[in-house]
Amino acid sequence: MLYLVYVMRPTAKARSDLKAFWKWVREREDWFYDSLHMTHDPRWLVRTIGTDVHAVEHSVSFADEAAWGAYRQEVHRRSQDPDWEKRRVEQDLWWEIIEASLLNDAPLPPVSDRSSSPEHIHRSSTGQGET
């Protein structure tokens, strides 16, 4: 899996009316991801500790690099439509993108697979705990 992750700092406008901000985010998600079937699992998180407290983290996942490529191609195609692009860039009224990254799964089995492994059971029963 691939994960596209953005960290955004809400603007003064967003901070002054959080109800309107989150309403806009919900509407934008519906509009932006409409028919982008290669994207999965959109998530929104708010930082509560660390740098950029109250920054918003947004991620979507892709099954593989081909899906990521198809996404980039479709967003580029849509951006050629002036009305679509005008709506997309209205995000500048609500947030400033401060970080963007593309992450891949590490080559480890999913946690659910590891929890029933004999090694995990042995560590738990001997009091060594989980890592």
Q: Which helix (H) or strand (E) holds 19?
A: helix 18-32
Residues 83-104, mean pLDDT to the nearest whole number: 97
Nearest C-alpha neighbor of 78 from the set 113, 32, 124, 45 = 32
Residue 131 within a domain = no
In a domain? residue 49: yes
Where is 55: in which H helix or E strand?
none
Query: Considering the domain boundaries, does residue 32 fall inside one?
Result: yes
Q: Is residue 71 part of a domain?
A: yes
Listing DSSP states for 64-112 in one string gives SHHHHHHHHHHHHHHHTSHHHHHHHGGGGGTEEEEEEEEEE--SS--HH
pTM for this predicted structure: 0.79
**Residue 12 · residue 75 · CB < 8 Å:** no
Name the residue range of residue 29's domain: 2-125
pLDDT value, residue 72: 97
CA–CA–CA angle 8, 36, 23 (5° rounding): 45
**Number of domains comprising the chain:** 1
* DSSP-derived secondary structure letter, 63: S
Q: What is the pLDDT of residues 43-84, one digit of tens each?
A: 999 999 988 999 999 999 999 999 999 999 999 999 999 999
Alpha carbons 62 and 111: distance in angstroms, whole number: 19
Answer whether residue 113 is part of any domain: yes
Q: Is residue 51 part of a domain?
A: yes
Question: Which domain CATH number covers 97?
Answer: 3.30.70.100
Q: Is residue 117 part of a domain?
A: yes
The enclosing H or E element of 35 equals none
pLDDT of res. 115: 63
Which pLDDT value is given to residue 15?
96
Beta bridge partners of 56: 8, 46
Asked, for residue 130, whether it belongs to a domain, the answer is: no
Confidence label for 119 from pLDDT (cuts 50, 70 and 90): low
